[in-house]
């Protein structure tokens, strides 16, 4: 988020993602969640991101480098990302 502290996310492998990992992001009130998936693009199953989708929060998966670039652009615009 543009303001506030950086919080660790307890996931180090794509295969370990669970719905609870995305549910904990809801309280932050993001407009969009960028999911960096490592060196290659991978898409999370919709059941993992359902809590965000129900609240009309976009989830964009991309490789890690693209996610970092996109994050910096959206942050510079003051977006809640």
Per-residue model confidence (pLDDT) at position 1: 72
Per-residue model confidence (pLDDT) at position 5: 82
* pLDDT > 70 fraction of the chain, expressed in percent and rounded: 99
Output the DSSP codes for 3-22: SS-----S--SGGG--HHHH
How would residue 36 be classed by pLDDT, with cut points 50, 70 and 90? Answer: very high
Phi, psi (degrees; rounded to nearest 5) at 80: -85, 95
Domains along the sequence of the chain with CATH: 17-76 (3.40.1230.10)
């Amino acid at each position: 988020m543009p303001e506030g502290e950086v919080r660790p996310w307890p996931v180090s492998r794509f295969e370990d993602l669970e719905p609870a990992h995305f549910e904990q992001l809801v309280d932050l009130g993001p407009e969009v969640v960028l999911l960096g998936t490592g060196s290659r693009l991978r898409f999370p199953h919709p059941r993992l991101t359902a809590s965000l989708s129900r609240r009309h929060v976009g989830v964009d998966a991309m490789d890690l480098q693209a996610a970092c670039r996109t994050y910096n652009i959206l942050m510079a615009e003051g977006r809640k990302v």
